[in-house]
């Protein structure tokens, strides 16, 4: 009898581990988020229907796609970013592809760097629909420059925009949510909010700051169990992020934009985000392999993670110095624009 159990275990345990290994190879999110997504997208859509969602950075990339998918779910939207014409384009597209009507989408231009305007913007947003259910702090910019060559003003602006701008909007919306006793604040951080990457010292610092802020805020709000504080940590996703990144000097544009095709499609990233939001997932890791492996390596085997990061990092810096796309250290063909 004992011998049968041992034989069965000898067979089942490797099979179990093999199944997990195969699942992991094809995974594009952490296990909690994938489990939530197993329940399907339809239930998530149903939970988001009718909710009022304020999206910053809604004029392009992830924020734009969030607007489209949320509109199709039937959420009412407040779209914010600096470029009003782009927000109006996103609004038109939302209206054409959903059952929403004009009054269900408010275009509310705002600059995350202009903190003095945030109180007024939040008042307008809350008054328009009477309340806000979900704030998605998505607006932000990245960086492509070596620390030794980067002006401190770039670091200052990255922190002012990605960190303080986000904190400022959050502080305007949070009292409204604590009063109502419900709401979600979802912040788009990054894989570099958990780990680090060369050419992104200031960007990574700003995302680490967000992780620290929201992880602390979450535990400060334990008296409000219906308020969700969630951070989203995507790996590379198709968007305008590299084109819009800061460089060595504040007004110097990026000259080399890499190939997007090996990055995660924006629609898949946003779909996973919405499943996570609808299911109250507090931290979401969203990335294709081999990037997802890095999240686990950084979490569980940092010494190994440092070794691999340094190897890839050296290649990234070499590419950058040669005027090539830095990301060709990770992806296939570099493309110079």
Ligand X SMILES: NC(=O)c1ccc[n+]([C@@H]2O[C@H](COP(=O)([O-])OP(=O)(O)OC[C@H]3O[C@@H](n4cnc5c(N)ncnc54)[C@H](OP(=O)(O)O)[C@@H]3O)[C@@H](O)[C@H]2O)c1
Q: Which residues are catalytic?
A: 203
Q: Please state, in angstroms and rounded to a whole number, the distance separating the CA atoms of residues 270 and 279.
A: 14
Residue bearing tokens 């779910």: 73
SS3 179: helix
**Closer CB to ligand X, residue 139 or residue 202?**
139
The residue (of 174 and 192) whose beta carbon lies closer to ligand X is 192
Question: What residues have CB less than 8 Å from 24, skipping those under 6 apart?
Answer: 292, 293
Contacts 24+ apart (CB under 8 A), 169-173: 169/56, 169/112, 169/118, 169/121, 169/122, 169/135, 169/137, 170/135, 170/137, 170/217, 172/118, 172/119, 172/121, 172/122, 173/54, 173/122, 173/125, 173/126, 173/132, 173/135
Instruction: Tell me the closest approach of the beta carbon of residue 201 to ligand X, in angstroms.
Output: 14
Mapping DSSP to helix (H, G, I), strand (E, B) and coil, where does residue 233 land? strand
User: At CA 204, angle to CA 278 and CA 267, rounded to 5?
Assistant: 35
Rounded Cα gap, residues 105 and 234, in angstroms: 26
Residue nearest to ligand X (CB): 61
**Contact, 172 vs 122, CB < 8 A?**
yes
The helix (H) or strand (E) run that includes residue 68 is: helix 61-73
CB of 186 to ligand X, least distance (A): 11
Task: Output 233 or 297, the one with its CB closest to ligand X.
Answer: 233
- In terms of Cβ atoms closer than 10 Å to its own Cβ (0-12, 13-18, 19+), residue 292 is buried
Residues that bind ligand X (CB under 6 A): 56-63, 81-83, 86, 110-113, 138-142, 161, 188, 190, 234, 236-237, 239-241, 244
Q: Which helix (H) or strand (E) is 285 found in, with range?
A: strand 283-286
Report the DSSP pairing between strands 134-137 and 105-107: unpaired
To ligand X, the closest distance from the beta carbon of 48 in angstroms equals 19
Compute the least distance from the CB of residue 113 to ligand X, in Å: 5
Closest separation in Å from C-beta 133 to ligand X: 20
Min separation Cβ 80 and ligand X, Å: 7
């Amino acid at each position: 009898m004992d011998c049968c159990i041992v034989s069965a275990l000898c067979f089942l345990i490797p099979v179990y581990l093999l199944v997990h290994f195969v699942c992991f190879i094809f995974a594009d999110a952490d296990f909690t988020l994938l489990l939530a997504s197993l329940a399907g997208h339809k239930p998530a859509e149903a939970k988001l229907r009718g909710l009022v969602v304020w999206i910053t950075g809604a004029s392009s990339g992830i924020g734009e796609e969030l607007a489209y998918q949320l509109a199709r779910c039937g959420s009412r939207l407040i779209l914010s970013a600096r470029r009003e014409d782009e927000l109006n384009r996103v609004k038109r597209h939302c209206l054409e592809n959903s059952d929403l009507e004009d009054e269900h989408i408010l275009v509310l231009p705002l600059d995350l760097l202009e903190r003095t305007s945030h109180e007024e913007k939040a008042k307008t947003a809350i008054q328009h629909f009477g309340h806000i259910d979900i704030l998605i702090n998505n607006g932000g910019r990245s960086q492509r420059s070596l620390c030794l060559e980067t002006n401190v003003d770039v670091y200052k602006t990255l922190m002012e925009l990605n960190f303080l701008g986000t904190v400022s909007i959050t502080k305007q919306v949070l009292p409204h949510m604590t009063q109502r006793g419900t709401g979600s604040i979802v912040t788009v951080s990054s894989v570099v909010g958990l780990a680090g990457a060369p050419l992104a010292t200031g960007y990574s610092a700003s995302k680490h700051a967000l992780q620290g802020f929201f992880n602390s805020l979450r535990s400060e709000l334990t008296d409000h169990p219906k308020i969700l504080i969630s951070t989203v940590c995507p790996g590379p996703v198709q968007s305008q992020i590299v084109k819009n990144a800061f460089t060595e000097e504040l007004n110097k544009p990026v000259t080399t934009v890499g190939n997007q095709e090996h990055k995660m499609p924006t629609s898949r990233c946003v779909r996973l985000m919405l499943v996570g939001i609808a299911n109250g997932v507090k931290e979401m890791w969203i990335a294709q392999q081999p990037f997802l492996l890095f999240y686990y390596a950084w979490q569980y085997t940092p010494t190994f993670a440092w070794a691999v990061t340094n190897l890839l990092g050296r290649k990234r810096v070499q590419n950058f110095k040669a005027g090539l796309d830095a990301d060709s250290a990770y992806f296939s063909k570099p493309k110079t624009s």
